[in-house]
Structure 1
Amino acid sequence: MPDQCSDHYPVDATNKVKRRHDRGFYDNGTVHTLLDSAALAHVAYVIDERPFCTPTLFWREGTRLYWHGSSASRMLRNLSQGEPACLTVTHFDSIVLARSGFNHSADYRSVMAFGTALLVTDAMEKERALTMMVDRFFPDRTAVLRPRTGQETKATAVIVMEIEKASAKIRAKGVADDDEDYELPVYAERLPIRTMIGTPEPCPRIIPGVKRPTTLESYREGRLLAEALLEAHRLAYP
């Protein structure tokens, strides 16, 4: 378990960036910002000596990560006693076309977080987590929704993982050719990639008079999704 007073995660053979050490970051600020500006993660684990990797929505509280799924899920059924897991997020920032195949690349920001994944079995913690499963992305939204039924709560499992170790890796270099290749008559460029919020599409069965709440203003057309997610996290966890 990481030292709660430290501003860096411990580094060892598990999370140390092996190649291009200059791209590795272990400080809480970098790691947490990249986690909080992402919604979708991939969780890797091993069951019966076979590897699995599952995409899932997730959220962070301090140095804990939460995600959820069906109580019937094979992954979640195997976490009651705790299993080593790795949660990964990636922000894909660009495709890089260089003057050689070797130097074609991508700009990205990623995090790998390691820990032991556990089922949340305490009823109060699970109830709070199911609330934050919505409110982390849309602060205070649960308060205006139909209350969860007992069956819905039973059908949903929640996983928690203390981040024991983590590393961020960032490439933000753009085109980086060998010096002699810059003299070649070959076109090169960086293609920026952005995940933007599109035009909201209201449900056609909304009751007349029900308006889009102002609390969704963060999710406005043309805004970067990462910016909206970071703002939502700050509001959910002031």
Structure 2
Amino acid sequence: MTETPTASSDRLPPHARIRARKRAVTQEADAWAVLDRVALSHVGFIDDGRPMVIPMIHARIGETIYLHGAKATRIVKRLGASVPVCLTATLLDGLVLARSAFHHSMNYRCVMIHGTARQVSDAEEKHQALVALTDHLLPGRWDEVRPMSDKEERATGVIAVDVEHITMKRREGPPVDDAEDYALPIWAGVIDIAKRAVAVHPDPALDATVPRPASLDAFLEARGEASASKGDKT
């Protein structure tokens, strides 16, 4: 089994240093790469003295994370001023099945970010964030769609998280059993889990003459999943 060596990180906050470092990853580039791949992150904050965790669309510009939400949502209302937040993003790579239930695990890559969140009010920063958020879902999509109206932009809340600390944990490799269990006639191994597109479903209201966008073709081709679009007749 491959285990990432233990090491400290200058960007790991004091209150997070008590976390187990057995699978800590200290290369920031690896952490940013995982964050860029994950479509959905979970954002934790305190609301009226109670912890809250909300799934949100995110995008990154440099070392600033942008979060999307309607202005009426709780997190946008609460985060009008600068407040501390914690954001996590996880890629599940495999199910690890050991000979003992005790040693079952998962192969994964998980990024944790601590930072200060603020509501974006600057018009240019907000516009750039909305472009990044749209293209995070499907690269190149912003240039293919109708631009947002002023009314739509006003109705959309954008939160910026200025990253203060970033850390990542990862597990990979086969199960690790007790030495005496390896001889047991019990199957053990790893089930790889891959995220992939399985089908493309055009909007039923879409005119049949409208061609499929280049962003979608590029998305499928990049993942070797062109066959996923067989049900798409456009």
TM-score relative to the length of structure 2: 0.85
- 1:142/1:187 Cα in 2 relative to 1: closer, same or farther (>3 Å)? closer
Letter in structure 2 aligned against 1:178: D
Assess if the C-alpha contact under 8 Å between 1:47 and 1:78 holds in 2: yes
Assess if the C-alpha contact under 8 Å between 1:198 and 1:221 holds in 2: no
In 1: Cα distance, 2:158 partner to 2:200 partner: 29
In 2: Cα distance, 1:132 partner to 1:109 partner: 23
With 33-42 and 192-201 compared, the bigger mean Cα shift is at: 192-201
Letter in structure 2 aligned against 1:13: P
- 1:14/1:217 Cα in 2 relative to 1: closer, same or farther (>3 Å)? farther
User: What residue number does 1:23 align with?
Assistant: 23
Deviation at 1:141, TM superposition (A): 2.8
User: What residue number does 2:150 align with?
Assistant: 150
User: What residue number does 2:94 align with?
Assistant: 94
In 2: Cα distance, 1:187 partner to 1:170 partner: 24
User: What residue number does 1:172 align with?
Assistant: 172
Assess if the C-alpha contact under 8 Å between 2:59 and 2:129 holds in 1: no
With 51-60 and 128-137 compared, the bigger mean Cα shift is at: 128-137
In 1: Cα distance, 2:111 partner to 2:163 partner: 11
User: What residue number does 1:132 align with?
Assistant: 132
User: What residue number does 2:229 align with?
Assistant: none
Deviation at 1:22, TM superposition (A): 4.0
Unaligned ranges ≥5, structure 1: 1-7, 226-238
SS in 1 for 2:69: strand
Identity score, percent: 35
SS in 1 for 2:33: helix
- 1:92/1:140 Cα in 2 relative to 1: closer, same or farther (>3 Å)? closer
Assess if the C-alpha contact under 8 Å between 1:90 and 1:110 holds in 2: yes
In 2: Cα distance, 1:107 partner to 1:136 partner: 24
User: What residue number does 1:10 align with?
Assistant: 11
C-alpha offsets along residues 47-76 of structure 1, whole Å, 9 cap, x if unaligned?
A: 111000000111111111011101011111
In 2: Cα distance, 1:15 partner to 1:166 partner: 10
With 200-209 and 30-39 compared, the bigger mean Cα shift is at: 200-209
In 2: Cα distance, 1:143 partner to 1:223 partner: 21
Assess if the C-alpha contact under 8 Å between 1:103 and 1:176 holds in 2: yes
Deviation at 1:193, TM superposition (A): 1.1
Unaligned ranges ≥5, structure 2: 1-8, 226-234
In 2: Cα distance, 1:175 partner to 1:23 partner: 14
Letter in structure 1 aligned against 2:120: V
In 2: Cα distance, 1:181 partner to 1:37 partner: 37
Assess if the C-alpha contact under 8 Å between 2:34 and 2:109 holds in 1: yes
In 1: Cα distance, 2:73 partner to 2:137 partner: 23
- 1:168/1:161 Cα in 2 relative to 1: closer, same or farther (>3 Å)? same
Over the residues paired in the alignment, what is the CA RMSD in angstroms? 2.0
User: What residue number does 1:113 align with?
Assistant: 113
In 2: Cα distance, 1:166 partner to 1:106 partner: 22
- 1:12/1:206 Cα in 2 relative to 1: closer, same or farther (>3 Å)? closer
